[in-house]
Amino acid sequence: MSLTQIAIDTLAKNDRGGFTIPTAGLYPYQWNWDSAFIALGIATYDMDRAWAEVTSLLEGQWPDGMIPSIIFRSDDPDYFPGPSRWGKTPGPIPSTGVSQPPVLTTAVMQLTGTGSNRDTARRAEVFDQLFAYHKWFHDNRTAKGIVATVHPWETGRDNCPEWNIGLDLMQVAPDLAPYTRMDNKHVDASFRPTQEQYDKYLTIIQFGQSVGWDQRRLTEEGPFLMADPNIHFILLRADKDLLAMARDLGKSADVVAAIEGWIAKGEAASDFLWSEELGAFTARDIRTGAFSKGFSNCSPLCFYADTGTPEQRARILENLQRIASKVDYMLPSWDPDADEFEPQRYWCGPVWPQMNFMVAQGLAETGEDTLAQLIRDDLCRAIEKSGFWECFNPLTGEGCVGKNFSWTAAVWLSWQHETKLKGVA
């Protein structure tokens, strides 16, 4: 059976009727940014089902505009922390109390790019909800002029060493309720975050509950507050796509001006993330100003957001070339020359399909075709060697963490479809 058919079968097996889980057992719910990438993969063979992936995610949007990181349509005892641990949240469906990188708007832009009446109608159908989501980020997560994050899980890069700066400043809540992790029952514990990290993740959740999930208080008073290049660049790209959508739909001058203001703010804020020492955009603690000490796989998303000075971009490219000489499969999630690089531990080193997808897209769009192709080809080689895993060891290409993974299948399908459209054998 071809890998393309296996990818389609993987998505079908993970379909739960209108939404798709990342993989059975380990992740039994609908995840925010997973669904955006999954929709792009499903669109290669069933556009109506792909659109249902988008609209089902929007069903969980909170009244204030936030789209949570996870939507809980059940309480699966095989997953922790589930809805009972997050407590009562204000959305229409039980959910987490934090969000995830807002790639959804860019996915909608790509799904509806033919200019047909149907695509225009689909954009119009979801525009107001997308606008409200972006407004939520700018209103509720801005600190010192940049959109920040209150929880490593909100970044999508749970245990990346970048977050140790903020986590090290935290204390585990002395009254933290006891809990039993379920993730380590599904996968090797050496692939997953440490117990101390988990205690601090749960401490943040406990604080969120204590303020009734008041998002401004969570940002201003919570125990963790960092600026994240992943959220920053994905939101900046999404703001630009939202602006194009607003103009295409003939939205009011006030709406257009609001989005233009967000974009101007985002462009100006990029320098806050620039570490001259590293020659990279990197995470930064909001309260202390401390930068992280390594090059991550979201630093090159400046190309995806089409931002950064020529000098900054040149240094990013130099870092990418350096890292390519250190690994057999690009792009590792953490710098192999930095402390705490672990090639198989979640966000401490492995190659992540959705990140390669965005980085390669940004590089290609800005004329860096050779590096873009390398990043695409290396992920495809890893998939061909190991199958559709959640992430891959950058030294060996072996699969890590979750297998039969939806966004990996979706990225494969999206790239194979794109190749066919270009008429390349």
Distance (Å, whole) CA 358 – CA 103: 10
Instruction: Give the DSSP H or E segment for 30.
Output: strand 30-31
185 pLDDT more than 90: no
Is the omega angle on the peptide bond into residue 249 within 30 degrees of 0, that is, cis? no
160 pLDDT more than 90: yes
For strands 226-227 and 284-285, give the pairing.
antiparallel
Burial 57-69 (b: 16+ CB within 10 A, else e): bbbbbbebbbbbb
Question: pLDDT tens digit string along 237-275?
Answer: 999 999 999 999 999 999 999 999 999 999 999 999 999
Rounded mean pLDDT, 33-62: 98
- Active-site residues, by number, are 158, 390
Q: Where are the alpha helices (DSSP H) in 141-226?
A: 152-155, 164-168, 183-186, 195-210, 215-221
pLDDT-derived band at 221 (thresholds 50, 70, 90) equals very high
pLDDT-derived band at 421 (thresholds 50, 70, 90) equals low
Question: pLDDT tens digit string along 78-132?
Answer: 899 999 999 999 999 999 999 999 999 999 999 999 989 999 999 999 999 999 9
The one-letter code for the residue type at 251 is K
Distance (Å, whole) CA 66 – CA 402: 27
Beta bridge partners of 392: 351, 399
Question: pLDDT tens digit string along 110-125?
Answer: 999 998 999 999 999 9
Q: Which two tokens stand for residue 50?
A: 């792909």
Question: pLDDT tens digit string along 376-402?
Answer: 999 999 999 999 999 999 999 999 999
Architecture of domain 3-421: Alpha/alpha barrel (1.50)
pLDDT of residue 420: 67
